[in-house]
């Protein structure tokens, strides 16, 4: 066992392992009920289920990282206990996800602003492919891309800028100001990285609403999977530095324990550069195993698949980083901060590859009813990964780590 940094208690690694197994079972149950194509809800079409899962994760991040728990009162854990607080926060996240997907995007933005955010507006506009399944998939694709931009901006802001420049204001001002800032920059990222591709999902292409994908010439594909893969590669470094490196080296740029504009700028530049590097490395590894991709290539030969697959791999790395942090107490703990950070990053990569092996093995085919093999149409590991991440974040953020850290409430 080892001592936890937050409470001073001895951390029980065996209990952490049991907790992880329990979480895995919960994820399997949720997948069986909602996503499995042979059971109850059958939401994994896959983009419709993808939009709901990533919307749920975005709602969790919004409540925890952006709003900082506002409007729920401070000290709610001490007042109501972690279980009651967790239930209320989880219900709030579910309701927020339903509101964002079905009311905000389908019923408001898609109805009065941008038609492709609403299946009903796509059908009403007519044209080839304007039937409910394709319309819902296309609208869901656009929503997935927007939530991806939101997650990048929100997690970057949390790690880079923190409460700056509202650190001297009350919770409500900080929460609303950060929400508007994150939403504004999320819109810009969405417009630049994803909107051009969505406009070309339709026939004829909406070339007056969106330009041809500007990355097509050097990426070999006009698909927004290029942007999706890049964003996830960058997110891995944001998550790794926050969870596995204890916020270093960015903390050296803080002032009186608060973030500064310089810290945010450095985090933005460094994580972006590292994200590009890991994207290029993963692309070269795939080239080694599958040869060079080419325009029009199917399955593993398609440049679009190579980019989203790089993002899927980084998704596994991110999942492993969360598990190492919350269920194994950021093992190992050594005197050197940098040595510990390097070892944990290596462990996260190794753990991510174990998840990679599981997802593309016959075990996942059996447990998740997924299509066997890699690069199958209509299949992406990101849905399962994000569902797993959502359950972890619900336990660690909403339930304050209960029951793994059930005494945390009294030790605050």
The answer to whether 2 touches 14, Cβ cutoff 8 Å, is no
Identify the pLDDT of residue 409: 38
Work out the number of other CB atoms within 10 angstroms of the CB of residue 169: 13
Query: By three-state DSSP, how is residue 11 classified?
Result: strand
Cβ within 8 Å of residue 288, ≥6 positions away: none
Q: Which residues of 357-368 are buried (b: 16+ CB within 10 A; e: fewer)?
A: eebbeeebeebb
Identify the pLDDT of residue 408: 43
Query: By three-state DSSP, how is residue 3 classified?
Result: strand
At how many degrees (to 10) do helices 82-98 and 47-61 cross?
130
Q: Cis bond leading into 403, ω under 30°?
A: yes
Cβ within 8 Å of residue 207, ≥6 positions away: 199, 200
Question: What is the spatial distance between Cα 273 and Cα 233, in angstroms, rounded to a whole number?
Answer: 10
Write down the H helix ranges in 99-215.
110-112, 119-125, 132-160, 171-193, 195-199
Identify the pLDDT of residue 94: 97
Question: What is the spatial distance between Cα 58 and Cα 149, in angstroms, rounded to a whole number?
Answer: 10
Identify the pLDDT of residue 8: 47
Identify the pLDDT of residue 74: 75
Question: What is the spatial distance between Cα 273 and Cα 45, in angstroms, rounded to a whole number?
Answer: 34
Cβ within 8 Å of residue 175, ≥6 positions away: 66, 67, 68, 70, 71
Least Cα distance to 85 among 398, 395, 391 occurs for: 398
Identify the pLDDT of residue 411: 31
Least Cα distance to 348 among 372, 319, 374, 377 occurs for: 319
152: phi then psi, degrees, rounded to nearest 5: -60, -50
Tens digit of each residue's pLDDT, the chain (412 residues): 555 554 446 778 899 999 999 999 999 999 999 999 888 999 999 999 999 999 999 999 999 999 998 888 776 556 678 889 899 999 999 999 999 999 999 999 999 999 999 999 999 988 766 789 999 999 999 999 999 999 999 999 999 999 999 998 899 999 999 999 999 999 999 999 999 999 998 888 888 889 999 999 999 999 999 999 999 999 999 999 999 999 999 999 999 889 999 999 999 999 999 999 999 999 999 999 999 999 888 889 999 999 999 999 999 999 999 999 999 999 998 999 999 999 999 999 999 999 999 999 999 999 898 888 888 888 999 999 999 999 999 999 999 888 877 544 333 3
């Amino acid at each position: 066992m080892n001592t936890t940094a937050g409470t001073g208690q001895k951390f029980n690694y065996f209990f952490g392992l049991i907790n992880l197994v329990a979480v895995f079972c919960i994820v399997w149950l949720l997948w069986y009920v909602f996503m499995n194509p042979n059971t109850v809800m059958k939401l994994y079409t896959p983009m419709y289920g993808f939009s709901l899962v990533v919307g749920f994760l975005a709602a969790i991040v919004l409540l925890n990282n952006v709003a900082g728990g506002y409007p729920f009162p401070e000290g709610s854990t001490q007042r109501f206990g972690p279980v009651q607080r967790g239930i209320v926060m989880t219900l709030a996240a579910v309701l927020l996800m339903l509101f964002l997907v079905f009311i905000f995007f389908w019923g408001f933005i898609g109805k009065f602003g941008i038609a492709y955010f609403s299946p009903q507006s796509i059908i009403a506009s007519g044209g080839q492919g304007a039937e409910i399944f394709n319309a819902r998939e296309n609208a869901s694709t656009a929503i997935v891309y927007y939530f991806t931009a939101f997650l990048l901006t929100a997690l970057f802001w949390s790690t880079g800028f923190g409460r700056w420049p509202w650190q001297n204001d009350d919770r409500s001002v900080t929460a609303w100001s950060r929400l508007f800032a994150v939403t504004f920059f999320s819109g810009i990222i969405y417009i630049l990285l994803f909107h051009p591709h969505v406009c070309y999902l339709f026939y004829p292409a909406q070339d007056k609403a969106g330009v041809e994908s500007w990355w097509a010439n050097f990426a070999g594909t006009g698909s927004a999977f290029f942007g999706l893969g890049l964003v996830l590669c960058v997110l891995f470094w944001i998550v790794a530095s926050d969870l596995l490196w204890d916020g270093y080296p960015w903390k050296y740029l803080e002032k009186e324990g608060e973030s500064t504009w310089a810290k945010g700028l450095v985090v933005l530049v460094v994580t972006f550069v590292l994200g590009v590097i890991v994207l290029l490395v993963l692309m070269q590894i795939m080239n080694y195993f599958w040869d060079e991709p080419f325009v029009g290539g199917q399955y593993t030969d398609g440049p679009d698949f190579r980019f989203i697959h790089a993002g899927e791999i980084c998704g596994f790395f991110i999942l492993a980083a969360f598990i190492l942090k919350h269920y194994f107490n950021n093992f190992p703990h050594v005197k050197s901060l940098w040595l510990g950070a390097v070892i944990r990053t290596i462990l996260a990569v190794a753990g991510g590859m174990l998840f990679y092996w599981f997802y593309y093995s016959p075990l996942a085919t059996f447990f998740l009813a997924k299509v066997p093999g890699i690069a199958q149409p209509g299949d992406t590991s990101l849905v399962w990964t994000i569902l797993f991440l959502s359950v972890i974040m619900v336990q660690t953020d909403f339930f304050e780590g209960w029951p793994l850290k059930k005494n945390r409430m009294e030790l605050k």
